[in-house]
A = this chain, B = another copy of it.
């Protein structure tokens, strides 16, 4: 019943962040903004509070107690459930091979390190097929339009898309190669441990 409703990119970011440590909602907001994750998706407070509530309702995360610091309003700390952990992985697996909805893909790429190297390579291969097909479709569309005498000014956006698809393909092939030959460190096992500790503590205890 949980993974029936599709996750939003914001939801994925929240779950992925909770993977690192339990925290309360306001801290999520701060942390995500500090890390500039709003460069991918606009992170409004309202949205984040709503999303956390939904995720709790759907059993992907749960309250882990209420604490109050000093005299401030008490705040509810949340923890990631197993279902949540799995949901992130599944979402990445779904979105990583996609080519449309590019912000979903960017988020998926940002969270791809939650998956194993081989997994990612396979997903990128599927994506590659779509990229090639789409580039081809754009080219034939442009040719057809040219033949039918469609003025070029109406095709400018399509031309751009074709150009960017080429660039994307080149970039992705380079990434895939580095993943396949092992020259790019990947996954939790290959994170230098000094960095693992640093990650959360640095921002949560300023």
Contact = CB atoms under 8 A, between A and B. Distances in A.
Interface in A147-206: 149-154, 156-157, 159-161, 163-164, 166-168, 170-171, 175, 184-187, 190-192, 194-195
Contact of A167 (B113, B154, B167): B167
A151 B192 contact: yes
Interface stretch (A76-84, A104-112, A125-133): A104-112
B195 A150 contact: yes
Nearest to A109: B157
A113 B110 CA distance: 36
Given A164-B168, A167-B163, A156 B185 contact: no
Contacts of A186: 153
A157 B106 contact: yes
A143 to B, nearest CB: 15
Contacts of A44: none
Interface of A: 39-40, 100, 102, 106, 109-110, 112-113, 149-154, 156-157, 159-161, 163-164, 166-168, 170-171, 175, 184-187, 190-192, 194-195
B185 A151 contact: yes
Contact of A153 (B102, B113, B157, B166): B113
The SS class assigned to the A binding surface is helix
Contacts of A192: 149, 151
Contacts of A164: 164, 167-168, 171
Nearest to A111: B157
Given A151-B185, A153-B184, 11 more contacts: A106-B157, A106-B160, A113-B153, A113-B154, A150-B195, A151-B191, A151-B192, A153-B186, A153-B191, A160-B175, A164-B167
Contacts of A150: 195
Nearest to A141: B36
A159 B178 CA distance: 13
